[in-house]
Amino acid sequence: MSKVALITGSGRGIGKAVALELARDGFSLVLNVKKNVEEGLETLKQINDVSEGILVQADVGSSEGAQKVVNQTIQRFGSLNALVNNAGLGIAKPLLETEEALWDKQVAVNLKSAYLCMRLAIPYMVKAGEGRVVNISSVAGIHGLANLAAYSAAKAGVIGLTKSVAAELSGSGITVNAVAAGLVKTKMGDSLLKFIGADDDAWAKNNTLTQKLVQPEEVAALVRYLVSDEAKNVTGQVFVIDSGSSVSPAKKFLEH
């Protein structure tokens, strides 16, 4: 019987890439979208070419939505081996222009959804005696990003949550890790570049070490490792994949 992975926010971008990667690796998939059902169905079609899966429309930033997606996972497949908390939202605004509703929305999508899905999914992993949780964070959660205060705060929370729960699950056979992505070639990444008025090549050349943007498939390959048996002793860690952007000042340190 194949293993089962639930991936939130998996209609496009990183979530879609992770879903396709795990499907090719033999997982059965539970996809999730909040609004863009057409994108979810297109991803599901591609999943079903190599494995089997279902699509659950739900807002995992709410208790009802998180419960719905976990319940349907168990109803359809009877187990849950891997949870990838990928649902995310980043809207660039200075802190003083960030209304409370926008703050709450970004915290709910990026952080609360991970808490809710973990709280609901982990009991099934405990019962099975093993499981994998991967939380998609961001370099914004490590060093912060101007005009992304809510997003940065939420992604920092994801890192703290990851480490705390990994410690709580010591000896359970369940690992919990985070992936801190830099600027990835996705719709969200494109919108951030548009916000600062830069194009892909120029930004990558000036702000990374590899001079290339991270592709969603590269993040997916890292997630595939973290949910594999080979990663059974990797837990409580944060893996940065950002083309070297977070350390790029080192390159320029001795330049005139």
Helices (H), the chain: 13-24, 37-48, 63-77, 100-107, 113-128, 140-143, 149-168, 187-196, 200-207, 216-226, 249-252
Catalytic residue among 115, 124, 151, 225: 151
With a CB cutoff of 8 Å and minimum separation 6, the contacts of 53 are: 19, 23, 28, 29, 30, 31, 44, 47
Would you call 151 a catalytic residue per the annotation?
yes
CB atoms closer than 10 angstroms to residue 67: 16
CB atoms closer than 10 angstroms to residue 5: 31
- In single-letter form, the type of residue at position 222 comes to L
Please list the active-site residues: 151
